Structure 1
């Protein structure tokens, strides 16, 4: 998803709520992500999402690597769902190393919830 076309470009790497494990309702998370992205649009700050699944449907290195190489990013946000689960430490490390390799000039930021995603980016780009 692209929101706003102006710079600075921000890439948001997160979990696709529809492809996260467990019996749960992804809709509240989808709504929260959409509301968080709306804050970028309100401030005319470009953002693109790269949502990955934990269901085995993605080659994470390829999907995230392609997103990182798509354009120069000023900030890459790695979302909380990828950082906070103990069983995702290896994936988190892989993601950070992909950012370091493919977007070495980008600031790396972390949100804690979808509602403070813009705030995470603003710490580095505003």
Structure 2
């Protein structure tokens, strides 16, 4: 049996404007992704920037089309800031349209991304 497939959609911490240190977030993302490999779950990340360098809908559409996904996790950076509600809605509607059979999960932090997906998988936690 093939490993379940999870797509994680979120912000590229190195391409989010502002005076902040993206390294801790990037490290937390990498650590969170490692948990998928340890559990035998295939995972792919779809990270995009808010710096204007990406056509976000095109990036997300391409990622959604690369495989059949059992779960799509939408990261907190996309979901939490109130000023990004329109972006969040666009992404959820893309997932709904392009991966209609996938469960949609939400993480709280980069480090609990596996836990968010595992709620919808028969994967060991």
Scaled by the length of structure 2, the TM-score of the pair is 0.95
User: For 1:38-68, what per-residue CA distance to the aligned partner results, in whole angstroms no more than 9, with x for missing partners?
Assistant: 1111111110000010011111111100100
Question: Corresponding residue for 1:9?
Answer: 5
- Root mean square deviation, CA, Å: 0.7
Superposition map of 1:44-59 within 5 A: 44-59=40-55
Stretches of structure 1 that go unaligned for 5 or more consecutive residues are: 1-5
Which contiguous aligned blocks of 4+ residues in structure 1 show a shift greater than 3 angstroms? Answer: none
Q: Distance in 2 between matches of 1:124 and 1:14?
A: 19
Q: Which of 82, 100, 104 lines up with 2:78 in the alignment?
A: 82
Residue 80 (structure 1) shift: 0.2
- Structure 1 position 125, deviation (Å): 1.0
Secondary structure of 1:30's aligned partner: helix
Which of 117, 121, 125 is residue 121 of structure 1 equivalent to?
117
The answer for unaligned runs of 5 or more in structure 2 is: none
The secondary structure found in structure 2 opposite 1:77 is: strand
Kindly tell me the number of residue pairs found equivalent between the two proteins.
121
Match of 1:32 among 3, 25, 28: 28
2:69 matches 1:69: no
TM-score, normalised to structure 1, is 0.94
Task: State the shift of 1:115 in Å.
Answer: 1.1
